Amino acid sequence: MWTLNNLAAGAVYFGLVMYAVFGGADFGGGIWTALASGPRAREQRDKLFYAIGPVWETNHVWLIFVVVTLFTAFPKGFAALFTALLIPLVIALIGINFRGAAFAFRHFGRETGERIPFMVSLFAVSSILTPFALGMAVTAIATGKIVFVNDWAQAGPWFWISPFTLVGGLVGMAICAYLTPIFMTVRTEGELQSDFRRQGIIAGLIFGLLTTVEIPVAMTDAPLFVDRLLSVRGAFFVTVSVISGITTQILLWRCRFQWSQITAIGTVTLTITGFAAAMYPDLLIGQLSISAAAAPPASLRAFSLVLVIGVIILVPSLLLLYWTFRGEPNPKLPQ
Amino acid sequence: MDNVLSARVLMGISLGFHIIYATIGIGLPLMLMIAEGLSLRTRDELYHQLARRWIRPAGVLFAIGAVSGTILSFELGLLWPRFMAFSGPLIGLAFSMEGYAFFVEAIFLALYIYGEQRLSRRMLFFCTIVLTVAAAISAVFVISANAWMNTPTGFRLADGKLVDVHPFQALTNPSWAHEALHGTLAAYVATGFAVAGVYALHLLRGHRSEYNKRALTLALAVASVSLPLMLVSGDWSAMTIAVQQKPKLAAMEALFTTTKGAPLYIGGWPDPATGTVLYGIRIPNLLSYLAFRDTDAIVEGLDAFPPGTTPDPRLVHPFFDLMVASFFIMLAPAGWFWWLHWRRQEVPLNKWPLRALLLASPFGMIALESGWLVTEFGRQPWIARGHMRVTEGVTPQTSIGLVLFTFFVVYLALTVGLLMLLMRPATIENGTKAPQEDRHVDP
Ligand code: HDD
Ligand code: HEM
Ligand code: HEM
């Protein structure tokens, strides 16, 4: 269990969770920018915008972390994934680019007001596109349709489109749309807070619905995945994540926002953990195991050493960042 | 376009695009640090304001640096999966370390930009120190990955499989030291000149505020301290290449045949058909001297290596000359400026020295881009020299031409958007405060 291979796989898993929780919330900001409605739509958008400002670049680095860890520790798996998933990854990349650029342009171009509406729609559209494409790409790994011929990964050009992955894309979006309003409830007050509370509850219902639908859909598209998901280990995480999700809804209902923020993170983490548990011990389900994809031990040892040093540097820095920008988003922009 | 060519063009465009923002991301923090440091020491607010005014462009440029870098790390897999399957265990370490440096950079950049009201002045200064160091470190590590492609070490191949893997040996491969030094210094030169050019333009347009003068002096000081070091470290690079990457040296210098007491060609067009350099200036024995400090040394030409294993001198030699020429193009106006400055004990505001500076200001970036083209074209046809050809590293996917087109459009859109944003004459640079009210526009 505690092998170097699994440690490295754990790092990939951890990076994914961090990206989903923090980066996901930033994408959710874009999704709710598109969906903002009611008399306070503008305030909602502004609050979202200010909250994302200081943190999105840091949150984005988790994605880089996942990619780099994959090619360092699982070069064979990385090569297979990036070969087979060329199209969805290109789509995600385009979204990532326009989102980052639109956000920065809007932010630092404030004095040049007239471009803002265009930038906002670009920001919103790419915030929807990216988690959808990434959700499809991640769930496509669970279909088992990437096979190895002569040691080289092959898959049909459109294998990544199926009901299972489409729902997977929607789940990706739902994760983002779920976290953001809940995170925002602790950063706002009054009517705005109840707006975000309502959005959080709705998103929670949709998130729950989509993950539930994913299971029957997977029976045809990803049979091995469902088998493992419904085994003892997988079912455990499914159950706990459902409990966590329901708890979050209750807490939101009762306006316990601090706590609901924590359980919402728990729900997303446990959902991803359930996915990871069903994948284990494979990287590409049924085709390539973690140990078969792993880099030579010397590389994994070096990777782990650097990981430890990295954590020692990172943890205090991250704490400083989130601590400095805790609470109400500061509307005063740098000039 | 065939797949390999599309992949190469896309990789080249992506890197050429990213390096501009990455360079600014390395150079600007140093200037921020100096300005904040001076402000703390002299208690002169103007220096602090100087730094804070750079934030707006810096924020956008950093963001583009981050997204273009993300494209790159994906492209390693999308375009070169076979290469990464082979080299990931070796160069992955450098990228991992770079990743932690990115984290630190992003964190302290956010603290610096958004922390004005929440952090003390000292803390802001501290942020710029961390930023400067982290940016330089990230450059040094990513360059290690590139250096490994030039001189792969830290492994053995047995039946096409990696054995005896030593990642730290791969990290500290023989090209690393000279590339990292030369490449990081280049970022300071290029950013310094680019920023100096902006303020030279403002001064030329008659905005002779104290603010503009200080900004020009500071940026040019950073550039001018680093510039002479480029000559020294470039010379070291060339001498190291002369030993480690002989075909690259031959292509750089357009030396077709192995020669004792080899001449140096300045300019000219290498013609592989005849094996001669057309229209170039020929200085006898100089190449032997520069490469080996011996005017009679034997320098191996392109003919010393098996056909199909050497780069095309037509792609390498002109860019090498452009890099070296840029060095002199920058040296002259910088020297002139400091000479006048020293004579008068004040910032010279005459037209011609400023015009010369303005003219020289893009040449830092030009030199940097051409230097990278020398390194990259000079490695061909290898992706990992001596072990894997570019054609062996490329993806088996067949639609790369379309991907190239897509990203070309993405880069075009980013560039146009950025230019529109930065070209807008913000009143800021005159030293007067821009209108402050936040104009909220409801989407
Ligand atoms: C401001 C930019 C700049 C300037 C003024 C110079 N260079 Fe440079 N050069 C670069 C920016 C650069 C670079 C950052 O673009 C490269 C690409 C790879 C590297 O290590 O640095 C480079 C590479 C590079 C290489 C190839 C290194 C390799 O492939 O391993 C050599 C031999 C030189 N340079 C030599 C010189 C000399 C003799 C210069 C004389 C003045 C010079 N450079 C000025
Ligand atoms: C930032 C400055 C850089 C520029 C402008 C640059 C430019 C280029 C160009 C023009 C090519 C295509 C060469 C050809 O096929 O003829 C290329 C290829 C490539 N570069 Fe770089 N490069 C840079 C730095 C790096 C770094 C730091 C790495 C580190 C990993 C790297 C990795 C690659 C790879 C993997 C290829 C594809 C293989 C090949 O064509 O040799 N490059 N680059
Ligand atoms: C010599 C070439 C390179 C240098 C000097 C360089 C340096 C930098 C620097 C200083 C930054 C942060 C500053 C900014 O965001 O503007 C950056 C960003 C980035 N670079 Fe590069 N880079 C180079 C090539 C590459 C290559 C070859 C890759 C990947 C294959 C890469 C991947 C990235 C990524 C992923 C980011 C974004 C990090 C973030 O999210 O903040 N870079 N680069």
Q: Is B266 helix (H, G, I), strand (E, B) or coil?
A: strand
The CA B139 to ligand 3 mean position distance, Å, reads 7
Closest CA to A245 of A279, A207, A189: A207
Averaged pLDDT for residues A122-149: 88
Instruction: Spell out a b/e string for B373-397, using b for 16 or more CB atoms within 10 Å of the CB, else e.
Output: bbbbbbbbebbbbebbbbeebbbeb
> Taking the alpha carbons of A251, A252, A257, A263 in that order, is the dihedral positive or negative?
positive
Q: What is the pLDDT of residues A218-245, one digit of tens each?
A: 888 888 888 888 888 889 999 999 999 9
What is the number of the ligand 2 atom nearest to the C-alpha of B16? 5
pLDDT > 70: what percent of chain A?
Answer: 94
Q: What is the pLDDT of residues B299-308, one digit of tens each?
A: 888 888 888 8
Predicted confidence band of residue B91 (pLDDT cuts 50, 70, 90): very high
Predicted confidence band of residue B439 (pLDDT cuts 50, 70, 90): very low
Q: What confidence score (pLDDT) does residue B435 get? A: 36
Q: Is the CB of B137 under 6 A from ligand 2?
A: no
Q: Which residues of A touch B442 (CB under 8 A)?
A: 41-42
The domains of chain B are located at 3-249+315-439
CA B302 and chain centroid, separation = 27
| Measured distance CA(B186)–CA(B227) in Å, rounded | 8
Q: What confidence score (pLDDT) does residue A328 get? A: 58
Strand partners, B162: B157
Predicted confidence band of residue B430 (pLDDT cuts 50, 70, 90): very low
The reply to whether A46 touches chain B by the CB within 8 Å rule is: yes
Burial (0-12, 13-18, 19+ Cβ within 10 Å), A185: buried
The tokens for B235 are: 């010379």
Burial (0-12, 13-18, 19+ Cβ within 10 Å), A110: middle
Q: What confidence score (pLDDT) does residue B139 get? A: 94
Backbone angles phi, psi at B259, to 5 degrees: -135, 140
Q: What confidence score (pLDDT) does residue B308 get? A: 84
Q: What is the pLDDT of residues A177-209, one digit of tens each?
A: 999 999 888 888 888 888 889 899 999 999 999
The CA B401 to ligand 2 mean position distance, Å, reads 18
Q: Which residues of A touch B409 (CB under 8 A)?
A: none
Q: Which residues of A touch B107 (CB under 8 A)?
A: 58, 317-318, 320-321
The CA A44 to ligand 1 mean position distance, Å, reads 50
Q: Is B119 helix (H, G, I), strand (E, B) or coil?
A: coil
Q: What confidence score (pLDDT) does residue B382 get? A: 93
Q: What confidence score (pLDDT) does residue A44 get? A: 82
Q: What confidence score (pLDDT) does residue B3 get? A: 86
Closest CA to B128 of B26, B43, B222, B22: B26
Q: What confidence score (pLDDT) does residue A116 get? A: 61
Give pTM, 2 decimals: 0.91
Q: What confidence score (pLDDT) does residue B9 get? A: 93
What is the number of the ligand 2 atom nearest to the C-alpha of B379? 41
Name the closest ligand to CA B373.
Answer: 2
Q: What confidence score (pLDDT) does residue A109 get? A: 63
Rounded to a whole number of angstroms, the distance between the first and last alpha carbons of chain B is 42
Q: How many CB atoms lie within 10 A of CB A315?
A: 10
Q: Do A64 and B69 touch (CB under 8 A)?
A: yes
Q: Is the CB of B431 under 6 A from ligand 3?
A: no
Closest CA to B1 of B16, B19, B15, B13: B13
pLDDT > 70: what percent of chain B?
Answer: 95
Residue B31 and residue B225 in contact, taking contact as beta carbons nearer than 8 Å: no
Q: What confidence score (pLDDT) does residue A46 get? A: 79
Q: What is the pLDDT of residues B3-61, one digit of tens each?
A: 899 999 999 999 999 999 999 999 999 999 999 999 888 888 888 888 888 887 888 88
Least confident of A158-167, B369-378, B420-429: B420-429
Rounded to a whole number of angstroms, the distance from the CA of B328 to the nearest CA of chain A is 36
- Which residue, chain included where needed, has tokens 């294993």? B309
**In the predicted model, what is the mean pLDDT of chain B?**
87
